[in-house]
Amino acid sequence: MAMEFEERLRDRDTWSIGDGCSAERVLGLLSTKTVFLVVRECFYGTRRFEDFVARIGTSAPAVSRALKQLESAQVVARVPYQEPGRRARDEYCLTEVGEDLLPVFLSLMQWGDKHLQEGRPPLAFVETDTGRAMGVRVTAEPVPDAASGDIEIRLNPAWRRGRGVSDGAPPDTP
């Protein structure tokens, strides 16, 4: 099954959107695993360069390139900070443009949970106030937007049980 084109677009050989394709542009921006994982870490609250390097598990130059790419696209912004007695440094936070990637991030996670995790995804994304599961769906209905601050990330109990970990044990890294 595929989406339906309006009549004037049905002859695909007569038109081309070329560089105007938004999907192509997004893939160009999020072109490497490191870039996407930096975005993930921003949603998870990571702000400092050395924490990105440690949590992503890649080289500092790769993280630096990813942050520069995301900064030039206005997905992240540098914010200066200084700890007492230390030199000034930058941390990185999502901009409004970056926050708009939340449904993209969640939909990829949701697809991976369904098709790559054998029914036991490691994390559950729930609404902070109610504990209800958060997800992404295609709809024509008006649905209120949620921001990343409205979401709590929890360890999925089904994932733990599938790994032979009791519910009382401290969480291990998914």
> pLDDT tens across 78-93, in order?
999 998 999 999 999 9
CA distance 22 to 29: 11
Residues 6+ apart with CB under 8 A from 19: 25
Phi, psi of 85 (to 5 degrees): 80, 5
pLDDT, the chain, mean: 87
Structure token digits, residue 55:
């949590």
What is the pLDDT at residue 53? 98
Query: The whole model's pTM is what?
Result: 0.81
Distance CA(26)–CA(30), nearest Å, equals: 6
Give pLDDT, residue 87. 92
Q: Is the pLDDT of residue 67 over 90?
A: yes
* Domains, the chain, ordered by start: 22-98 (1.10.10.10), 102-162 (no CATH)
Residue 99 to residue 131: CA distance in whole angstroms: 21
Residue 110 pLDDT greater than 70, yes or no: yes
- Per DSSP, the three-state class of 159 is helix
